[in-house]
């Protein structure tokens, strides 16, 4: 039984590692160890066959049939990493081979290998059960658990519709379950957790029964220590963001929208440990993705680059929004950062789902506008425990009517609008924030808040936006800032 457990762990660790390699490298390695027709298989099937040969389940077949492998040399890291996995799990020392030099480099690396032993359970009848986690998604009428980062890792976990109905699961729920290993997929048998709570204690708020209310609880984004960005200080003091708001940074190109969004996300994560922070980056450069990946876990950061298809971009946008809504219904505070609404609109506009409505002169479909409004409108504070805040970006003054129409259409749905000043950005002032171009919908203000707003507006009218920004920069705390303003007046 122990040997079988080690064998399953070995297969699991090998699959986990091989999924990180490109299909080209896997085909070259597969052919070198005797995988039959390695060039004709997709990545998932090829990994299964490679692990089958490595574990002795499949007989190696060394033939020259099939298409040649592009750049068919074997990456020396792959056999040596497989060798290291075997040695660590089975606690044996294998003989050196012709990759000895590369093997020694890997052995001396500080990040040698990290094997997380899977939670397998072996039953008396030989059945293998494993604990699996993923987000519930329905594809062509079948329910699956997909990885939280939205990437296909080649491992499929299927849930029967009866199990979904019995546990009142919804698309977007993060589910932990016991799953039986089948021939081509794992089949869920028992649901253990939903959205981070055990099945016994999980309760879902019925948000449809409550009317949305005015957001009142602030989202902390500045404390001067853990979060010390000037942009966050400015907004915290002059235009605080509240949980449940629909917020958008609308500005011309090259004024710092993505940087501002990244600083807001980083500060919100640092100062709000009880809030779930998600980020959706659509059609963004790798540099922008890297700036978010430095502080967000992989499962909370979903992104596409210029290489991804539009269907993939729209799928990820819906994928992360469904999870955010399910978390909010579970009583959690959630913030979703989106960069950008223009990129999301352009992606949806190129899909078949946008067809069938009215086409505007700029080529924008009316269904695309409806999709964006519905997406942004998911943010709300409904009076219960959970809230969903959406903070995104939109670009104007690009010369493309498509961009201007999207920015103009989503603006009425916002209750927190931040517009960056192109004039301040040209002067190399960052953040290019102008208090006169920031709109915050607050129907009920206390006497103290009303007095503070009047004081800031009076100072702004006398000295202008740039000097107000300098006053924020030069002040150590809010009390000093107010004192500086009163002295100037």
Show the 3-state SS of 297-328. CHHHEEECCCCCCHHHHHHHHHHHHHHHHHHH
Please give the average per-residue pLDDT across 76-93, as a whole number: 77
Q: Is the pLDDT of residue 155 over 80?
A: no
Rounded Cα–Cα distance for residues 17 and 125 (Å): 29
Q: Please, which pLDDT band fits residue 71 given cuts at 50, 70 and 90?
A: low
Buried residues in 45-83 as b, exposed as e (16+ CB within 10 A):
ebbbbbbebbeeebeeeeeeeeeebeeeebbbbbbbbbb
Q: By mean pLDDT, which of 99-108, 282-291, 365-374 is the weakest?
A: 99-108
- Residue with structure tokens 């978010």? 292
Q: Please, which pLDDT band fits residue 276 given cuts at 50, 70 and 90?
A: very high
As to burial, measured by CB atoms within 10 angstroms (0-12 exposed, 13-18 middle, 19+ buried), residue 299 is middle
Model pLDDT, residue 4: 67
Model pLDDT, residue 121: 59
Q: By mean pLDDT, which of 124-133, 293-302, 382-391, 424-433 is the weakest?
A: 124-133
In degrees, to the nearest 5, what angle opens at C-alpha 359 toward C-alphas 358 and 365?
Answer: 90
Which CATH superfamily does the domain covering 230-444 fall into? Answer: P-loop containing nucleotide triphosphate hydrolases (3.40.50.300)
pLDDT > 70 in the chain, percent: 85
pLDDT in tens, 170-195: 999 999 888 887 767 788 888 888 98
Cα–Cα nearest to 394, from 440, 340, 431: 340
Buried residues in 404-442 as b, exposed as e (16+ CB within 10 A):
bbbbebbeebbbbbbbbbbebbeeebbbbbbbeebebeb
Model pLDDT, residue 92: 65
Please give the average per-residue pLDDT across 323-327, as a whole number: 92
Q: Enumerate the domain spans of the chain.
A: 2-108, 120-202, 230-444
pLDDT in tens, 204-229: 876 555 667 777 788 899 888 888 88
Q: Is the pLDDT of residue 453 over 60?
A: yes
Q: Please, which pLDDT band fits residue 105 given cuts at 50, 70 and 90?
A: very low
340 cis-preceded (ω within 30 degrees of 0): yes
Please give the average per-residue pLDDT across 285-291, as a whole number: 86
Identify the architecture of domain 120-202 in CATH. Answer: Beta Barrel (2.40)
Q: Please, which pLDDT band fits residue 86 given cuts at 50, 70 and 90?
A: confident
Q: Is the pLDDT of residue 10 over 50?
A: yes
State the first-to-last Cα distance of the chain, in angstroms, to the nearest integer. Answer: 81
Model pLDDT, residue 393: 92
What's the mean pLDDT when you consider all of the chain? Answer: 81
């Amino acid at each position: 039984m122990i040997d079988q457990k080690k064998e399953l762990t070995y297969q699991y660790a090998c699959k986990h590692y091989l999924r990180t390699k490109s299909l080209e490298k896997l085909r070259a390695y597969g052919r070198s160890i005797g995988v039959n027709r390695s060039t004709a298989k997709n990545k998932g099937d090829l990994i299964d066959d490679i692990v089958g040969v490595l574990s002795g389940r499949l007989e190696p077949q060394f033939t020259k049939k099939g298409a040649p492998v592009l750049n068919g040399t074997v990456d020396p890291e792959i056999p040596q990493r497989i060798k290291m996995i075997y040695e660590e799990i089975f606690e044996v020392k294998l003989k050196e081979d012709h990759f000895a030099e590369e093997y020694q480099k890997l052995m001396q690396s500080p990040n040698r290998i990290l094997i997380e032993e899977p939670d397998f359970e072996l039953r008396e009848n030989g059945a293998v059960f494993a604990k699996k986690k993923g987000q519930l998604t329905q594809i062509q009428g079948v329910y699956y658990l997909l990885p939280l980062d939205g990437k296909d890792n080649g491992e499929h976990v299927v849930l029967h519709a009866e199990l979904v109905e019995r546990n009142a699961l919804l698309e977007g729920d993060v589910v932990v379950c016991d799953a039986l290993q089948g021939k081509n997929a794992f089949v869920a048998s028992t649901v253990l957790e939903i959205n981070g709570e055990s099945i016994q204690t999980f309760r879902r708020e019925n948000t449809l029964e409550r009317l949305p209310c005015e957001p009142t609880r602030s989202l902390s984004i500045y404390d001067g220590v853990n979060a010390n960005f000037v942009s966050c200080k400015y907004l915290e003091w002059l235009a605080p963001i509240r949980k449940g708001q629909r917020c958008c940074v609308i500005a011309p190109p090259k004024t710092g929208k993505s940087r501002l969004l990244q600083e807001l996300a980083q500060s919100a994560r640092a100062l709000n440990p009880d809030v779930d922070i998600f980020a959706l980056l659509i059609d963004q450069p790798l540099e922008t993705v890297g700036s978010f990946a430095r502080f967000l876990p992989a499962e909370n950061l979903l992104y596409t680059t210029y290489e991804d298809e539009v269907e993939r971009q729209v799928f990820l946008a819906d994928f992360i929004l469904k999870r955010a809504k399910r978390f909010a219904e579970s009583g959690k505070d959630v913030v979703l950062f989106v960069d950008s609404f223009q990129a999301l609109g352009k992606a949806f506009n190129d899909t078949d789902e946008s067809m069938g409505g009215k086409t505007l002169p700029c080529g924008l479909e009316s269904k695309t506008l409806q999709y964006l409004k519905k997406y942004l409108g998911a943010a709300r504070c409904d009076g219960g425990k959970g809230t969903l805040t959406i903070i995104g970006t939109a670009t104007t003054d690009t010369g493309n009517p498509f961009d201007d129409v999207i920015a103009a259409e989503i603006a009425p749905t916002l209750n927190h609008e931040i517009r960056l000043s192109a004039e301040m950005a040209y002067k190399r002032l960052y953040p290019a924030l102008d208090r006169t171009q920031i709109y915050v919908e607050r129907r009920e203000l206390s006497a103290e808040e009303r007095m503070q707003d009047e004081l800031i507006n009076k100072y702004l009218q006398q000295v202008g936006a740039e000097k107000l920004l300098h006053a924020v920069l030069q002040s150590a705390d809010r009390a000093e800032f107010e004192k500086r303003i009163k002295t100037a007046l």
